[in-house]
Amino acid sequence: MGTDLEQVLVSKEDIDAKLAELAALIDKDYDGKDLLIVGVLKGAVMVMADLARALSTPVTMDWMAVSSYGAGTKSSGVVRILKDLDTDIQGRHVLIVEDIIDSGLTLSWLLSNLSSRGPASLQVCTLLRKPEAAKVDIDVKYVGFDIPNEFVVGYGLDYAEKYRNLPFVGTLAPHVYGG
C-alpha cells in the first residue's frame, strides 16, 4: 500500500489471535445452542469470514446491509435497510458481527430493530470500537480492540470503497483524504 498508509494499527497476527480468543468465548457461551451470526455489510465481511472459521460451534450465517443517513463520514442514527435478513430470527440465538463501532448510533438502531423480531437472545461482536466516539451506551459482549478516535481502513473497512482488502487495520496518511 506504500505511502498511503500512515501506520498499521492492528496487524494481521493480532487480528488472528484476537478472533481465536473471541471464538473460544463464543463457543463456550453458545455450547449446545443453535447460533445465527449476522454480518453487517460491507465492512464485516472479513470479520465474519475469519470469525466463522475460528468457531467450533456450528452456525448459520446471514447478512444485512444498512445505510445511515448523514453528512459525509458522520453517522446520524437514522438508518435505512438496504438488504434485510433472509432468516426469520424469532426464537433464534442471534449474534451481530460488526467491523467497527464508532458513535454506536447505527448499531443501536439495529439492536432495537432486531429485538422487535423476538430473538431468543441478541448479542454483539465487534472487531473494533472507538470508545471516545461513543454517543450511545451499548452493551457489547465481544470486543476485539478499543482504538483511538481516528479514521481507520483495511480488513473490511474502506475509504471511498478502497482498502477493504488489506489484511490489517491501519490509519490513512493525511494526503490520501486531502489533509
Binding site for ligand XMP (CB under 6 A): 43, 68, 75, 99-107, 151-153, 157-158
Q: How far is the CB of 113 from ligand XMP (least distance, A)?
A: 13
Q: Which of 50, 88, 102, 158 does the annotation list as catalytic? A: 102
Q: Which positions ≥6 away from 93 have C-beta within 8 Å?
A: 30, 33, 34, 35, 36, 119, 120, 121
* Of 18-26, 40-48, 59-67, 118-126: span binding Mg ion (CB under 5 A): 40-48
Q: Say whether residue 43 binds Mg ion (CB under 5 A).
A: yes
From residue 80, alpha-carbon distances to 41, 86, 90, 102, 168 in Å are 13, 16, 21, 18, 29
The entry of ligand XMP, Mg ion, none that residue 101 binds, CB within 5 to 8 Å by partner kind: ligand XMP
User: Which residue number, 91 or 167, has a Cβ lying nearer to ligand XMP?
Assistant: 167
User: Which residue number, 57 or 85, has a Cβ lying nearer to ligand XMP?
Assistant: 85
Dihedral sign, CA of 71, 72, 78, 83?
Answer: positive
Eight-class DSSP state of 101: E
User: Which residue number, 30 or 142, has a Cβ lying nearer to ligand XMP?
Assistant: 142
Task: Report CA dihedral (63, 107, 19, 90) to the nearest 10 degrees.
Answer: -50
Q: How far is the CB of 91 from ligand XMP (least distance, A)?
A: 27
102 is catalytic: yes
From residue 117, alpha-carbon distances to 38, 111, 178 in Å are 14, 10, 43
Give me 97's grid cell: 458481527
Q: How far is the CB of 1 from Mg ion (least distance, A)?
A: 21
- What residues act catalytically? 102
Chain residues that interact with Mg ion, rule: CB under 5 A: 40, 43, 99
